[in-house]
Amino acid sequence: MTRIRTVALAVLFMGLLLSGGNHESEAGGTGSAPGTPSQSVLVSTVRTEITPVVADYVEQSLQRAQREGYAAYVVQLDTPGGLATSMRDIVQDILGSRTPVIVYVSPEGARAASAGAIITLAAHAAVMAPGTSIGAATPVGMQGEDLGAKVINDAAAQAEALARLRDRNVEIRRRDGARGPLDRRDGGSAAGSGG
């Protein structure tokens, strides 16, 4: 996707969100504002670790967005990371989506760390609120211990593949998928979110 299309999606998302488009709130509650789904975005809030429950929630919400014809599906994200298997499930759902997926790292002070960074890379567009961060994509064990080179190289390869797919800065993603912080931002599009 070109940088122009990425920016256009982000602008569409912000315009629809600010104009009161339909949205889904945290924990699956629905807020209904005027507008038809084709003119609205569906928003799900994830403010927790990435787990199988979260992966199911995102999958069901994305299916709803596709089924009901929403213009885009937005994941408002604030996560320290989570399980690699759940992250991969979410990434596969995003990659298979006919509806554009936008990850919005929000509110101010939020983060898309670890699994959240990879999910953000998978999105068609990534937007960050002021004072948010993305990074620390190096996988760790259940107790926070370092993992072997094979697991780390797999994460780096996935970050690189997603960066290539979404026309983002591959060198930054390759380096950071294997080492740690991706970027610190003060709002706007995520670093390298276009070509």
State pLDDT tens for residues 83-125. 889 999 999 999 999 999 999 999 999 999 989 999 999 999 9
CA Rg value for the chain: 16
97 is catalytic: no
40 is catalytic: no
Q: What is the DSSP letter of 38?
A: G
For the entire predicted model, the pTM comes to 0.73
Tokens 């706007």 sit on residue: 188
Confidence grade of residue 80 (pLDDT, cut at 50, 70, 90): very high
- Among 97, 114, 133, 193, the active-site one is 114
At 77 the three-state DSSP class reads strand
- Ordered by where they begin, the domains of the chain are 3-138 (3.90.226.10)
